[in-house]
Amino acid sequence: MSELNQFLGDIRSGRLGNLSPQQEIILKQVWVNILYKLGHSNLTLPDYLKVDSNDSSINDKESSSSGLSKWTGFGKKKSSSENKTSEFKIHDSLKPLPKEVLQNVFFSFLRADYPDNLLLRFIRARKWNLSNSITMILDTIKWRNEQKTEPDNLILQGEKFMLKNPSDIDSGLVDKNLKLLKSVICGRDLLGRPIVLVRPKLHHAKDQTEEAMERYAILIIETTRLFLREKNSIDQALIIFDLTDFKTSNMDYAPVKFLIKCFEAHYPECLGKLLVHKAPWIFTPIWNIIKNWLDPVVAEKISFSKNLKDLEKYISKDEIPQYLGGQSNFDLDKYPEQQVLESSLLTDTKTLDSLKQERSELIKNFIQQTCKWVQNTDDSKRQELIDERLKLSIELAENFKKMDPYVRNKGMYDVLGDLKLE
């Protein structure tokens, strides 16, 4: 293991630094599609990357017996007709997308994620199927580019913009969601994952528009992403849907459907565990409807909890809110409105311009190194290329953290000291 890999700590399977040879091939094939779209169509590709990306049969099992076997000895030789093409064929879904949109949206989407690991979320969600992975990635790129709630603007303008412009947003979003602390990020579970506590008893559909609820949901998801860490693969969240005092009047199917779509289609592999806590008997028929909307992979992550003992299987007592029997003193009754309003962006334009230029160079260098990586057939250079890309990934994440105070308005977790980009 290289020194850079050791920096990442305990890496979970299917992440950068812990990929099987087959999985590395699929990741390369996804990157070749992106590189071709970005204008790098003159690559000299190894035969195992000369595939038709629209072929729905290509997955890690199909790739295992070609490709890396030529210079690692992995796998067995395939028949000459199997998945063989004379040249690489880009996925059809990429063709109409402007290359500027692809590059700008993707590298903006990163936050502090490493580029490979962001792509691998989608690849894992589509079970290492090349065509399905690219389709999912492109659907999300287009969604982020076209989405009327504009995920990037939501997280950058943040709570302060909402507080200062309630009529432009939706007063229900501010008064009945944000200030009410309907959803809060409070502490970490036993695996280090951020905990998102949702209290449906505070929700009534009439209090806000459906669009406002979607904006609030995306704000919470995007804020939670800032709590994720590449080190030790802390790349998912635990959500508690606390149904204490839940009534049928609190039920609202539209935001539930939207959340399911977000986690399944646009934020894959961000949900690590979801606990439905203290579900009353009236929730049973509701659950019978909801569970039919769930992807089996998401459904497997959902458990029901009844008491403190159940919660302690996942969360230490000092991270569980006091009203649920724990010892966390997180204030669930007071939103720090004045502190958020008084916070301000750093205004040193010279430093910001320098950081933007640095980021532009890092992106350029990362793309160049990725071109070298996908073309390489020399086993002696393989680890060196992997390490160089990892080094640039780390530098991109650090650049984001340095830029953050200049481009993102502080929210409640910043002013309370709970959110510190590390």
Domain chopping of the chain, boundaries: 3-146, 151-333, 349-415
Return the H-helix or E-strand segment holding 112: none
Bridge partners of 328, per DSSP, are 321
> d(Cα 351, Cα 353) in Å, to the nearest integer?
5
Tell me which architecture the domain covering 151-333 has in CATH: 3-Layer(aba) Sandwich (3.40)
Return the H-helix or E-strand segment holding 196: strand 194-198
For the purposes of burial, counting CB atoms within 10 Å of the CB of 95, is it exposed (0-12), middle (13-18) or buried (19 or more)?
exposed
> d(Cα 230, Cα 74) in Å, to the nearest integer?
28
Q: Residues 6 or more apart from 59 whose CB is under 8 A from it?
A: 26, 127, 128, 129, 130
- For residue 350 the two structure tokens come to 């010279």
Q: pLDDT digit string (tens) for 173-205?
A: 899 999 999 999 999 999 999 999 999 999 999
* Lowest mean pLDDT across 130-144, 159-173, 295-309: 159-173
- Beta strands 302-305; 237-242: pairing state: unpaired
- For residue 193 the two structure tokens come to 């994952």
- Give CA angle at 55 (49, 57), nearest 5°: 95
- Beta strands 183-188; 302-305: pairing state: unpaired
Inter-residue contact 164 to 186 (CB < 8 Å): no
Tell me how far the alpha carbon of residue 138 is from its chain's centroid: 14
Around Cβ 169, how many Cβ atoms within 10 Å? Answer: 21
Model pTM score: 0.93
Q: pLDDT digit string (tens) for 116-156?
A: 999 999 999 999 999 999 999 999 999 999 876 689 999 99
Q: pLDDT digit string (tens) for 393-412?
A: 999 999 999 999 999 999 99
- Which one, of 284, 278, 267, lies nearest residue 144 by Cα? 267
Q: pLDDT digit string (tens) for 37-84?
A: 999 999 999 999 999 999 988 886 654 444 444 434 344 444 333 445
Q: Torsion angle of alpha carbons 85, 87, 91, 96, nearest 10°?
A: -140
Q: Residue 63's pLDDT is what?
A: 46
